[in-house]
Structure 1
Amino acid sequence: MPDSGTTLLWQVIRQDDNGNHYRVGRYATRDEAQKVVDSLDSRGRQRLYWVERIGEPAH
């Protein structure tokens, strides 16, 4: 868990079957966020996950 001084600049987004987007979590590094996406993708569910830098236009 990040300390209170850590800036969380990366987020994992999930898109459901209806095209709705949900934030799964926020992370300090892109690598950390990508590991979460990889873990979620490996579960075999039919959902789309990706990493975005906070403040960038939506995917």
Structure 2
Amino acid sequence: MHGGRRGAMTDGGAVLPWLVIRQDEGGNRYRVGRYATRAEAERVADGLDTRGDQQLYVVERVGRAAG
């Protein structure tokens, strides 16, 4: 049998379409976490932004083209 991936699903079945992405000075991007709402993701990104490091934190929705 062949199970398909569910882009915005977790193992528990909750939909988590909002990502917090960390981008470093070299342009490398790393997923920090997935969240149910944009507001929750933005709160997390804002909290990480205050740490004083030289990283950029952005919020993106799964499956949406950047633009």
Which bin holds the TM-score, normalised by the shorter protein?
0.7 to 0.9
Uncovered stretches (5+) of structure 2, i.e. residues with no partner: 1-11
Structure with larger RCO (C-alpha < 8 A, sep 6+): 1
What is the Cα deviation at residue 5 of structure 1? Answer: 3.8
Identity rate, percent: 62
Aligned to 1:56, which of 38, 61, 64?
A: 64
What is the Cα deviation at residue 16 of structure 1? Answer: 1.0
RMSD: 1.7
Cα deviation 1:2-24 (Å, max 9, x = unaligned)? xx342001000110111011111
Structure number, greater radius of gyration? 2
Uncovered stretches (5+) of structure 1, i.e. residues with no partner: none
Question: So what's the TM-score if we normalise by structure 2?
Answer: 0.76
